[in-house]
Each structure stands twice: as structure tokens, then as C-alpha cells.
């Protein structure tokens, strides 16, 4: 599989370059499996991650609550929900 060229290539450091590669690869794998609208959760207040996702074409569509398993039971965590259309464009 070869990932398509991305308009956001141009990382500020090696860690960002790796993150971009992993993100583009993940999006391509989801699209190959027929996913049309991908979504991800981002911790509320994580502005660095939010900028990364938005630069990559993800749209913040609101908040949602995810339920994380813990030894004491589920922990509800409100997060930002991001979505991206994988049907051939950003």
C-alpha cells in the first residue's frame, strides 16, 4: 500500500514527521476497509493534538463521552470528537 501525498507534509521535527506518516497510513487503511467517515477522540484541552488533527483535515464536530475501563469500573470521559471524510478528499 502506498499512501497518497498529503498537502500537510512538512513536519517541524522528526516526531511530527512520524505522526504524519502514521496518521496518513491509518487513514488509508480505514479507507481500504470501506470506512467513509472516520472519527477520533481528542482530550479536551490538548491544543497541540487539536492543531495537528485540524492541519490534517480533521473537523471538530463536538464533544462526546467515552467510557474507559478501570479496575474500579467504567470512567466516563468527555472528549472532543473529530471526523474526517475518507471518500477521496480532505
pLDDT band at 90 (very low <50, low <70, confident <90, very high): very low
83 and 38 Cβ atoms separated by less than 8 Å: yes
Instruction: Answer whether residue 16 shows pLDDT above 90.
Output: no
Q: Each residue of 19-57: pLDDT tens digit?
A: 888 888 889 999 899 999 999 999 999 999 999 999 999
What secondary structure, in 3-state letters, does 28-53 show?
Answer: HHHHHCCCCEEEEEEECCCHHHHHHH
* Cα 52 to chain centroid, rounded: 9
Query: Which secondary-structure segment (H or E) carries 16?
Result: helix 14-32
Amino acid at each position: 500500500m502506498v499512501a497518497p501525498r498529503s498537502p500537510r507534509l512538512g513536519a517541524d521535527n522528526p516526531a511530527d514527521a512520524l505522526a504524519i506518516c502514521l496518521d496518513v497510513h491509518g487513514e488509508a487503511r480505514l479507507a481500504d476497509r470501506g470506512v467513509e467517515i472516520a472519527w477520533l477522540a481528542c482530550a479536551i484541552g490538548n491544543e497541540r493534538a487539536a492543531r495537528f488533527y485540524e492541519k490534517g483535515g480533521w473537523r471538530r464536530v463536538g464533544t462526546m463521552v467515552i467510557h474507559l475501563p478501570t479496575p474500579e469500573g467504567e470512567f466516563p470521559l468527555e472528549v472532543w470528537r473529530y471526523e474526517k471524510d475518507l471518500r477521496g478528499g480532505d
